[in-house]
Amino acid sequence: MKIKICGMKETGNIREVTALSPGYMGFIFYPMSKRYVGADFEMPEIPSSIKKVGVFVNDAMKNISLKVKKYKLDLIQLHGDESPEFCKRAGARAKVIKAFGVDGDFDFTVISDYEECCDYFLFDSKTAEYGGSGKNFDAGLLKNYKSSKPFFISGGIGVEEVQRLKSQVSMAFAIDVNSKFEIEPGLKDMNKLKLLFDALSGK
């Protein structure tokens, strides 16, 4: 199971996390987020083995295109109410992860319209703020997922949840971690992250 570490914005911290070699690193370009990288963000050098994910919420395609080009993003994560048509247009610029907020009422059939225009799906806890709640959703709901499209699972994942998720959602492509591994919003706790990598490697 791959790891995506999201909400990165501090240069020194990004370099520290890079040394752990996660599969993906996420950068939030949504100004309303506590983990927004900021208008003057400078991307430090990151090995090509770590895929850079730009997270956007109901943004204009022009702005997304500019960020993809400026920061050489490998993937675009659309975390808002973007339509399949919008996802298809974004896919001409980089690979696309479409996020969905999940609760007990979520209808997994809605993702069928996104099958042909997205490379991955991401399932997060449903909130009014487009993610970032630090809360889990019932991973058992993913038994209703019938697609073969690889997906990320997010939403308040900490070290203590990793073993449960490994067994309960073994079909997940990757876990997406953020707030449970922070000292403060946007600053990751390296000791906690090392515990995560150890847990996933079976140490």
Residues 25-66: tens digit of each pLDDT: 999 999 999 999 999 999 999 999 999 999 999 999 999 999
Domains of the chain plus CATH, in order, are 2-201 (3.20.20.70)
Rounded Cα–Cα distance for residues 152 and 150 (Å): 7
Which residue carries 């090509």 as its tokens? 48
DSSP letter (8 states) at residue 100? E
- The band of 172, judged by pLDDT with boundaries at 50, 70 and 90, is confident
Count of CA atoms in the C-beta half-sphere (13 A) of 99: 27
Assess whether 124 carries a catalytic annotation: yes
- Is residue 138 within 8 Å of 145, Cβ to Cβ? no
- Is residue 198 within 8 Å of 163, Cβ to Cβ? no
The pTM of the whole model exceeds 0.85? yes
Would the CA dihedral through 23, 128, 186, 193 be positive or negative?
negative
pLDDT at residue 199 greater than cutoff 70 = yes
Between these two residues, 131 and 4, which has the higher pLDDT value? 4
Q: What are phi and psi of 200, to 5 degrees?
A: -75, -25
Element (H, E) at 162: helix 159-168
DSSP letter (8 states) at residue 35? T
Which pLDDT tens digit goes with each residue over 111-161? 999 999 999 999 998 876 665 556 777 778 888 888 999 999 998 888 887
How many Cβ atoms sit within 10 Å of the Cβ of residue 32? 10
Which residue in the list 59, 118, 124, 176 is annotated as catalytic?
124
pLDDT at residue 156, rounded to an integer: 84
pLDDT at residue 167 greater than cutoff 80 = no
Which residue in the list 6, 87, 117, 118 is annotated as catalytic?
6
Query: pLDDT averaged over the chain?
Result: 91
pLDDT at residue 171, rounded to an integer: 77
